[in-house]
Structure 1
Amino acid sequence: MARPHAVVVPYPGSGNINPALQLAKLLHGHGVYITFVNTEHNHRRIVAAKGAAAVRGRDRFRFEAIPDGMADADRDVGDYDLALSVATSNLCAAPLRELMARLDAAAGEDGGVPPVTCVVCTALMSFATDVARELGLPTMVMWGGSAASLMTHMRIWELRERGYIPLKGSQQLHQSQRPHPQHLRRTRGRAEYARIYTIGPLGTLLNHAAADAIGGGLSLWKQGTECLAWLDTQQPRSAVYVNFGSLTVMTPERLAEFAWGIAATGRLPVLVCWRTSCLVARPQFVVETDGRRCLATWCSQEQVLRHPAVGCFLTHSGWNSKCESVASGVPMVCWPVFADQYINRKYACKSWDVGLRLDEEVRREQVTAQVKQVMESEEMRQDAARWKAKAEQAAGLGGSSYKNLQSMVEVIRSFASDSKKAEA
């Protein structure tokens, strides 16, 4: 029987890399040979953060790296994320094409590596679909956001034609709030997919799967275990976890409001995993939270959220964070910054009843009040527990996500069979 071989190409940001790695692990557990493609820059960062073993791979699971087209001097620019998106879109196709050729050449040499039979990329890596089409390979695109944001992107051209876009007053929007259309232009006319597989939460699916042979996530930052050890010393549901993600930029004024809002929560233990140097530079915050805080540059968020000591998550409302918090049964205080985070907040606060919102111009008094309300609300805790149970049910044997994953694997296997027939 032909063996399926998927080349997984995530956008080079932690919010894309880790979900793609989780999906790759799930596919690997179902017999799919995986080649996971990082950028060379991120490959070096991962090795520096976790050691060479993190990217050594295992049987039928290998890591490869391609250049992202950016010079090191360009990584400190103010619009780095936009520059990275443009560079990968314009300059990564040729290196990926060369990698695919090397993989197929290796398959012909010893037979240990099966020929590539499909490409799985995250949505921002649309160039990978172009390369796959050139090589006659099918593509699956991983959408890491909500269904609502997917529908918006799929209908973006229709919304333009009907006059909803550009938004009225959009000239007043900050750059982070404006749509980034480059990958939309590249994929225009390809927005209607024959199949959509709703799979998740990915971490919960992995917990239901066999033992993880590939190791933990691929962190771009050095992760310590001190925060988990600190949580072990706290009472159940007593601690507030604070993390605004890897891309959030905050003014000193807003940072001060959050710092003093957190400090004023009384005796609540606080775990902050976000640019802690900014907080350490505020001596009074250090004094006010002495004996009840833990500051970490980065941490394993899923492990933190699943820890019984965590009772509230102060979050930027990224979709990964939302899913991980819901799957862990932890209610939230939400302060979105850009992209789909605003609609994610609406889900948490209005649809699921597991969150409270903060105003965009955040005030310390509101931070204190909302955090305390979440920590004290038994009703919100019960709602969060119900959503956690739903996530477990979906990921468990016979659940909707479980079935959709099986269906996706069967399609990937069929790609390999079709490829074998074509060779014959």
Structure 2
Amino acid sequence: MASPAASKPHVVLIPYPAQGHVTPFLRLAKALHARSFHVTFVHTEFNRARLLRSRGAAAVAGADGLPPPGQPAELDATQDIWAICEATRRTGPGHVRALVERLGREAAAGGVPPVSFVVADGAMGFAVHVTKEMGIPTYLFFTHSACGLLAYLNFDQLVKRGYVPLKDESCLTNGYLDTRLDWVAGMIAGVRLRDLPTFIRTTDPDDVMLNITMKQCELDAPAADGILLNTFDGLERAALDAIRARLPNTIAREDGRCAAWLDAHADAAVVYANFGSITVMGRAQVGEFARGLAAAGAPFLWVIRPDMVRGAGDGDGEPLLPEGFEEEVVASGSERGLMVGWCDQEAVLGHRATGAFLSHCGWNSTVESLAAGVPMLCWPFFSEQVTNCRYACEEWGVGVEMARDAGRREVEAAVREVMGGGEKAAAMRRKEAAAVAPGGSSRRNLESLFAEIVGAVQPVINPV
């Protein structure tokens, strides 16, 4: 008779090693675990080391990870996205194979259930070829927006039609990026080149990110048993319909001061500013945001990572913020502003005092803002963030877009505009709540995935 542990379905989750990808994978892991799945969650050694430092050994007890892709173990450094994508695609297949084979040996020894299913990040799509060759059903989970994925799926057409690569650097400034792309099915009317993920902004036909993105869409995604998306039907219906037409396999360290500080403010009075886990900017831009936030008059909670400012920590001794700013605005005990290195973003966005979100438009941040009914000040940094921004501002009507070089006056004006109301964002919150409620589209899709794993998949990995 098989042991209870051996009879459990065993799912291996392989996220791309950036926080915006790890977070939705952790949510999926919790949902699977709550339904008695055995979950193997794959980290890189870099991220495992960061967990050890921030949460202690108990956070990763008994765990190990994939080797780092040739980067130094500077735990406060922003990882090079281009280098990681190139290195994981080049070296990752062998490591994934070795991991799954090792789990097969452990299963044969009775240590874990046999691997029955793999869910890999869309950005780790190379894994699908390895695990499918080993006879293991594999899904790809694209953690960004559906509109972002739809844009990526059209990269090949942009190349074939001659839009990309750019002819020369002048295309970045001469209005070429304002070219409309009315032929892209499923995108909002009037979508422009500048609204698509920034990886198209290259003059190099061999550009790493351009070519890896096309491989993920043209080779990896069609080979998967299914595609999972971190969205819901009511929010991105047209984009999802277009994706399903193309990919029929689509399914759809804590700072405790924040809560107490927010508690001291009136409802919808605070601007929350957070530019995500990998955005970097110069000191001058930080200064413009600082002065703009202060001039707008609303109290603000601002998350500034140690590595967010370009060149910080190189020993030049320059302050991150304008001289006197902290003393003036965010001095200890002040109700005008609070600056922290990290916060529980969902808790902050869900707090009654939060009235607006100054964001880089990463997809996790965008969805969390919509779910909380908090309107957005949109300052996209790169990739599909510019696409998310366009949809948030023009299609869903829950945000105000700010230019990449926004100065203090633009920041102040945007804050004043968004803090003046949030009815559309509240409507989106109701839509999101309906989608994740029992019987909602997201809940139905997730339950369908669980049923498919349990009902249609048998353990297939043999010891090697």
Q: Percent identity?
A: 37
Q: Distance in 1 between matches of 2:63 and 2:213?
A: 25
The answer to whether 1:413 aligns with 2:454 is yes
Instruction: Report the 3-state secondary structure (helix = DSSP H, G, I; strand = E; otherwise coil) of the residue aligned with 1:120.
Output: strand
**Alpha-carbon deviation of 1:74?**
8.7
What is residue 238 of structure 1 aligned with on the other side? 269
The answer to whether 1:85 aligns with 2:91 is no
User: How many aligned positions are there?
Assistant: 392
Instruction: Report the 3-state secondary structure (helix = DSSP H, G, I; strand = E; otherwise coil) of the residue aligned with 1:11.
Output: coil
What is residue 21 of structure 2 aligned with on the other side? 16
The question of whether the paired residues in 2 share the 8 Å contact of 1:199 and 1:405 is answered with no
What is residue 328 of structure 1 aligned with on the other side? 372
Structure 1, unmatched stretches of 5+, are 57-61, 202-221
- Structure 1 residues 37 and 272: CA distance shift in structure 2, 3 A: same
**Alpha-carbon deviation of 1:308?**
1.0
Matches within 5 A, 1:123-142: 123-142=122-141
Q: Distance in 2 between matches of 1:229 and 1:77?
A: 30
**Alpha-carbon deviation of 1:152?**
2.6
Q: Distance in 2 between matches of 1:176 and 1:156?
A: 8
**Alpha-carbon deviation of 1:93?**
2.4
Q: Distance in 2 between matches of 1:387 and 1:366?
A: 26
Q: Distance in 2 between matches of 1:46 and 1:321?
A: 21
The question of whether the paired residues in 2 share the 8 Å contact of 1:227 and 1:299 is answered with yes
Instruction: Report the 3-state secondary structure (helix = DSSP H, G, I; strand = E; otherwise coil) of the residue aligned with 1:18.
Output: helix
What is residue 401 of structure 2 aligned with on the other side? 357
- Structure 1 residues 349 and 138: CA distance shift in structure 2, 3 A: same
State the TM-score, normalized to the length of structure 1: 0.84
- The counterpart of 1:314, out of the listed 358, 361, 368, is 358
The answer to whether 1:254 aligns with 2:254 is no
**Alpha-carbon deviation of 1:151?**
1.9
Q: Distance in 2 between matches of 1:78 and 1:323?
A: 23
**Alpha-carbon deviation of 1:37?**
0.5
What is residue 282 of structure 1 aligned with on the other side? 322
**Alpha-carbon deviation of 1:98?**
1.9
What is residue 270 of structure 1 aligned with on the other side? 300
Q: Distance in 1 between matches of 2:459 and 2:170?
A: 50
What is residue 240 of structure 2 aligned with on the other side? none
What is residue 6 of structure 1 aligned with on the other side? 11
Instruction: Supply the AA of the counterpart residue of 1:182.
Output: I
What is residue 244 of structure 2 aligned with on the other side? none
Matches within 5 A, 1:2-401: 2-56=7-61, 63-72=63-72, 80-110=80-110, 113-167=112-166, 169=168, 173=172, 177-178=201-202, 179-185=209-215, 188-192=218-222, 195-198=226-229, 200=231, 222-266=253-297, 268-275=298-305, 281-290=321-330, 291=334, 292-377=336-421, 381-401=422-442
Instruction: Supply the AA of the counterpart residue of 1:119.
Output: V
Q: Distance in 2 between matches of 1:387 and 1:190?
A: 32
Structure 2, unmatched stretches of 5+, are 173-197, 203-208, 233-252, 310-318
Q: Distance in 1 between matches of 2:417 and 2:215?
A: 44
Q: Distance in 1 between matches of 2:96 and 2:116?
A: 15
Q: Whose helix proportion is higher, 1 or 2?
A: 1
- When structure 1 is superposed on structure 2, of 388-397 and 244-253 the one drifting more is 244-253
Instruction: Supply the AA of the counterpart residue of 2:323.
Output: P
The question of whether the paired residues in 2 share the 8 Å contact of 1:197 and 1:405 is answered with no
Q: Distance in 2 between matches of 1:336 and 1:73?
A: 28
**Alpha-carbon deviation of 1:69?**
3.1
The question of whether the paired residues in 2 share the 8 Å contact of 1:263 and 1:285 is answered with no
Instruction: Supply the AA of the counterpart residue of 2:324.
Output: Q
- Structure 1 residues 43 and 154: CA distance shift in structure 2, 3 A: same
Q: Distance in 1 between matches of 2:325 and 2:348?
A: 23
Instruction: Report the 3-state secondary structure (helix = DSSP H, G, I; strand = E; otherwise coil) of the residue aligned with 1:398.
Output: coil
What is residue 206 of structure 1 aligned with on the other side? none
- Structure 1 residues 24 and 76: CA distance shift in structure 2, 3 A: closer
Instruction: Report the 3-state secondary structure (helix = DSSP H, G, I; strand = E; otherwise coil) of the residue aligned with 2:68.
Output: coil
Q: Distance in 2 between matches of 1:197 and 1:78?
A: 27
